[in-house]
């Protein structure tokens, strides 16, 4: 019953508020994209258009509010790359042999790109950016907690049936993408309660990746940990928390998880059928790109040509990046890589710069987003999941950080006169 009440309250109450404040609707939309109420509380929440209702309301509110602020600052390249990507995909859909299939891809991506644009045009303060981070972390953390609860009760839901419309590998990518976000949030927050919530969420997500038995997810998790160590501020308290996290992760990885992970590194003679088929499919994608380098074979059309490589029609390539290149051509792949890559590049520069910035928290946001996107990029090489929302919204945090950090820092020695309790302009005297 609590799930039903929560879902209806967020849907209809959020839709009403979104007409006035579309950013609130965006937060609810992202929450629903992660927890999927119909799947989370399948016994009480009927199938419905909850996300669609919120989405329509937030888009209407966005229009009423004048489409927000389109001055993206340092995030300009990231935002334009995403817009260019969906426009290129739409052009590919026009030319595709099966238009209905191709336009389904465009519809799916529009459900991500439009909320992204609402977010980047309405994020105008650090508190809003922090609200976005917390919504993603707590939503993903709650999902991870429920999946852990099921696992310890004897039902490994992720491994046996996945969650919602995602299988175990897709769930592993979703969790890996958010682990660094939650970890760095736990490091930087001052409240012990908030710190505990963020770090506990991170630990629950790590364990989900492990009992998902996704080798790509496990490899991405290890690489994410290495990247996180590189960016962790080298304070004693931070290093202690990092060491504890590594030890707990090692403790949670039982012999079955370790054995599964080590199969990544076996020789070709020992490689299992699943791993070998991935390599064959990747080669097929590369071959397709060489024959269709500009527009590819069409959005969501890889399944129509995969039979040429000895597999049944409709089989996915098990790689987001190479399948995108096969379907949208090299320009489409480059635009998607530029979307994530420009965000990582600009945030890394922001983290390392010695110049003053308007809010030091932006460096913390940069660390969490860079580590998260790198983890996602590694994991996505092993799964074809173009419609996963979480990585795009993590990139939204990065783009919002770049946008807000474009404002010049105010020197401490020169306070803002407009904030003083007197009219500073009254002291502007000129000589007669």
Q: DSSP of 243-276, one letter per residue?
A: HHHHHHHHHH--HHHHHHHHGGG--TTT--HHHH
Q: Where are the beta strands (DSSP E) in 162-248?
A: none
If you average pLDDT over every residue of the chain, what do you get?
Answer: 85
- Of the pLDDT bands very low, low, confident and very high (cuts 50, 70, 90), residue 250 is low
Task: Please compute the mean of the pLDDT values over residues 394-398 and round it to a whole number.
Answer: 97
Q: What is the pLDDT of residue 248?
A: 67
74 to 79, 83, 129, 349, 360: CA distances (angstroms): 10, 16, 16, 11, 16
Q: What is the pLDDT of residue 253?
A: 58
- Residues 50-105 pLDDT 10s: 999 999 999 999 999 899 999 999 999 999 999 999 999 999 999 999 999 999 99
Is residue 257 pLDDT above 70, yes or no?
no
Position with higher pLDDT, 240 vs 318: 318
The two structure tokens encoding residue 280: 């064959």
DSSP 97-125: SSHHHHHHHHHHHHHHHHHHHHHHHH--S
Position with higher pLDDT, 270 vs 355: 355
Helices (H) and strands (E) counted in the chain, each on its own, are 19, 0
Question: Rounded to 5 degrees, what angle do the CA atoms 58, 78, 396 make?
Answer: 40
Q: In degrees rounded to 5, what are phi and psi of residue 385?
A: -145, 75
The mean-pLDDT minimum among 22-26, 239-243, 304-308 falls in: 239-243
Half-sphere exposure at residue 318, Cβ-oriented, CA atoms within 13 angstroms = 21
Question: Rounded to 5 degrees, what angle do the CA atoms 223, 234, 198 make?
Answer: 65
Q: How far apart are CA 373 and CA 360, in angstroms?
A: 21
- Of the pLDDT bands very low, low, confident and very high (cuts 50, 70, 90), residue 210 is confident
- Residues 414-428 pLDDT 10s: 444 344 443 433 333
């Amino acid at each position: 019953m609590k799930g039903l009440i929560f879902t209806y309250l967020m849907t209809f109450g959020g839709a009403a508020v979104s007409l006035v404040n579309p950013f609130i609707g965006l937060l609810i939309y992202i929450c629903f994209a992660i927890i999927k109420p119909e799947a989370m509380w399948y016994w009480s929440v009927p199938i419905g258009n909850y996300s669609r209702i919120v989405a329509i309301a937030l888009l209407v509110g966005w229009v009423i509010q004048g489409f927000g602020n389109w001055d993206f600052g340092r995030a300009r390249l990231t935002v334009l790359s995403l817009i260019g990507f969906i426009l290129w995909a739409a052009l590919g859909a026009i030319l595709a042999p099966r238009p209905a299939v191709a336009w389904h891809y465009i519809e799916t991506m529009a459900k991500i790109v439009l909320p992204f644009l609402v977010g980047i045009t309405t994020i105008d303060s650090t508190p809003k950016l922090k609200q976005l981070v917390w919504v993603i972390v707590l939503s993903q953390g709650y999902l991870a907690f429920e999946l852990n609860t099921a696992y310890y009760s004897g039902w490994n839901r992720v491994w046996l049936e996945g969650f919602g419309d995602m299988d175990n590998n897709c769930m592993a990518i979703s969790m890996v993408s958010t682990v660094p976000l939650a970890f760095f949030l736990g490091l930087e927050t001052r409240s012990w309660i908030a710190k505990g919530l963020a770090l506990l969420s991170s630990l629950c997500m790590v364990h989900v990746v492990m009992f998902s038995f996704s080798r790509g997810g496990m490899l991405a998790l290890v690489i994410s940990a290495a990247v996180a160590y590189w960016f962790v501020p080298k304070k004693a308290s931070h290093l202690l928390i990092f060491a504890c996290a590594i030890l707990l992760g090692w403790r949670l990885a039982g012999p079955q998880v370790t054995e599964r992970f080590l199969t990544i590194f076996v020789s070709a003679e020992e490689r299992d059928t699943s791993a070998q088929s991935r390599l064959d499919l990747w080669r097929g994608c590369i071959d397709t790109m060489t024959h269709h380098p500009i527009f590819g074979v069409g959005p969501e059309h890889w399944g129509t040509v995969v039979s040429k490589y000895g597999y049944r029609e409709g089989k996915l390539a098990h790689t987001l990046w190479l399948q995108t290149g096969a379907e949208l051509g090299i320009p489409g792949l480059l635009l998607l890589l530029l979307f994530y890559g420009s965000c990582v590049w600009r945030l890394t520069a922001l983290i390392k710069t010695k110049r003053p910035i308007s809010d030091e928290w932006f460096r913390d946001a940069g660390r969490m987003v860079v580590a998260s996107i790198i983890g996602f990029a590694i994991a996505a090489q092993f799964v074809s999941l173009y419609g996963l929302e979480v990585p795009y919204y993590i990139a939204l945090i990065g783009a919002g950080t770049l946008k807000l950090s474009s404002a010049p820092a105010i020197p401490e020695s020169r306070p803002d006169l407009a904030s003083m309790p007197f009219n500073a302009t009254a002291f502007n005297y000129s000589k007669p």
